[in-house]
């Protein structure tokens, strides 16, 4: 079975859209945390994604084979459920820049998990691309503050766990959901974890504050995060995994900091020479990571 070549235009369009969407997610989480706790942000993000996708999910119940349900539940938990809570919790105690750096560990975890758990071969060139890409992300984000950041080690570990989850989800999707409709599988996965999230949300004070109109801006941020950063993004991501491989899709996390920094430029921040160098390293890393080969 041969995958579509990585350098197909549609694959790069998918990768670019994901970069734009997920690169914007950090600022949306930051805005959401102004009005909600990290638990509420996680519940709202997953719960609203469930509501947005519910009509499709109900149809998917009769389309997706029952034997796929355990796989979908696993993918939904590790791919969306846990990270939706881990990143907001981390951002309550650590800078978003730290999250940006650590999120770039996703391709590394994708390689490790694919090799040890799913026996996926990996070339030396792609390993080199993973290393270069991560170094580029490190230089890019550290260059923002001259290398000085406040780091709470315990909270900084949370994005590491989240990226492990992403690596696991990417590999499971590639190995177990290769031929399934990503719209149906994503919608059904969102429903599986979205209903418990909405139930959990009912035990917080968020519904009352939403009804009173006190948190309309944070709510708008979470709604955008749910629709674009979760539902639509994961549909695109799983489609990209199906068309290429888990590592190619995971390389989006190298490009995400570029978008995050670009938002800063629009907010009158200054781009340093070090950051430009980091961007170039990222592009080199993505090139080697995503370069197709005819060998294993």
Q: Alpha-carbon distance 140 to 222, whole Å?
A: 27
Burial of 203 per CB tally in 10 Å (0-12, 13-18, 19+): exposed
Contact 110/250 with Cβ under 8 angstroms? yes
On whether residue 162 sits in a domain, the answer given is yes
Whether 257 shows a pLDDT value over 90: the answer reads no
CA distances from 101 to 225, 251, 282 (A): 20, 13, 12
Whether 198 shows a pLDDT value over 90: the answer reads yes
On whether residue 215 sits in a domain, the answer given is yes
pLDDT of residue 7: 57
Q: Alpha-carbon distance 23 to 151, whole Å?
A: 21
Q: Alpha-carbon distance 236 to 223, whole Å?
A: 18
Give DSSP secondary structure letters for 114-163: HHHHH-----HHHHHHHHHHHHHHHHHHHTTTTT-----HHHHHHHHHHH
DSSP letter at 169 equals H
Burial of 30 per CB tally in 10 Å (0-12, 13-18, 19+): middle
On whether residue 103 sits in a domain, the answer given is yes
pLDDT band, very low/low/confident/very high, at 127 (cuts 50, 70, 90): confident
* Plot region of 234 (φ>0 → left; ψ -120 to 50 → alpha; else → beta): alpha
**Is 77 strand, coil or helix?**
helix
Residue with token string 């941020």: 221
Q: Alpha-carbon distance 272 to 277, whole Å?
A: 9
Q: What is the pTM of this model?
A: 0.81
Other CB atoms within a 10 A radius of the CB of residue 75 amount to 27
Whether 146 shows a pLDDT value over 60: the answer reads no
Structure tokens at 19: 């970069």
Contact 249/69 with Cβ under 8 angstroms? no
On whether residue 78 sits in a domain, the answer given is yes
Q: 71-109: per-residue pLDDT in tens?
A: 999 999 999 999 999 989 988 876 666 666 677 778 888
Q: Alpha-carbon distance 229 to 258, whole Å?
A: 16
On whether residue 43 sits in a domain, the answer given is yes
What's the length of the chain?
296
On whether residue 90 sits in a domain, the answer given is yes
Domain hosting residue 87, numbered range: 25-119+149-251
Residues 6+ apart with CB under 8 A from 216: none
Q: Alpha-carbon distance 171 to 227, whole Å?
A: 24
Q: 36-77: per-residue pLDDT in tens?
A: 999 999 999 999 999 999 999 999 999 999 999 999 999 999
Nearest alpha carbon to residue 255 among 94, 100, 145: 100
Structural domain total, the chain: 1
On whether residue 95 sits in a domain, the answer given is yes
Q: Alpha-carbon distance 212 to 170, whole Å?
A: 40
On whether residue 69 sits in a domain, the answer given is yes
């Amino acid at each position: 079975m041969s995958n579509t070549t990585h350098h197909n235009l549609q694959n790069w369009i998918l990768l670019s859209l994901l970069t734009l969407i997920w690169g914007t997610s950090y600022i949306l989480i930051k805005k959401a945390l102004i009005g909600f706790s990290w638990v509420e942000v996680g519940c709202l993000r997953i719960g609203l994604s469930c509501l947005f996708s519910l009509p499709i999910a109900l149809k998917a119940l009769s389309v997706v084979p029952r034997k796929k349900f355990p796989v979908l539940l696993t993918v939904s938990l590790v791919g969306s459920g846990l990270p939706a809570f881990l990143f907001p919790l981390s951002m309550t105690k650590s800078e978003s820049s730290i999250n940006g750096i650590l999120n770039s560990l996703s391709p590394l975890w994708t390689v490790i998990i694919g090799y040890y758990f799913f026996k996926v071969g990996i070339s030396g060139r792609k390993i080199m691309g993973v290393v270069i890409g991560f170094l580029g992300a490190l230089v890019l984000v550290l260059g923002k503050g001259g290398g000085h950041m406040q780091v709470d080690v315990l909270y900084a570990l949370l994005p590491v766990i989240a990226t492990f989850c992403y690596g696991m989800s990417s590999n499971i999707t590639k190995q177990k959901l290769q031929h399934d409709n990503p719209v149906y599988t994503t919608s059904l996965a969102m429903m599986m974890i979205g209903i418990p999230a909405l139930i959990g949300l009912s035990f917080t004070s968020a519904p009352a504050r939403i009804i009173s109109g006190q948190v309309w801006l944070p709510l708008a941020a979470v709604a955008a995060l749910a629709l674009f950063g979760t539902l639509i993004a994961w549909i695109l991501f799983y489609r990209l995994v199906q068309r290429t491989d888990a590592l190619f899709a995971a390389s989006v996390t190298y490009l995400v900091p570029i978008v995050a920094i670009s938002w800063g430029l629009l907010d009158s921040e200054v781009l340093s020479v070090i950051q430009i160098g980091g961007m170039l390293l990222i592009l080199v890393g993505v090139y080697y990571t995503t370069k197709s080969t005819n060998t294993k």
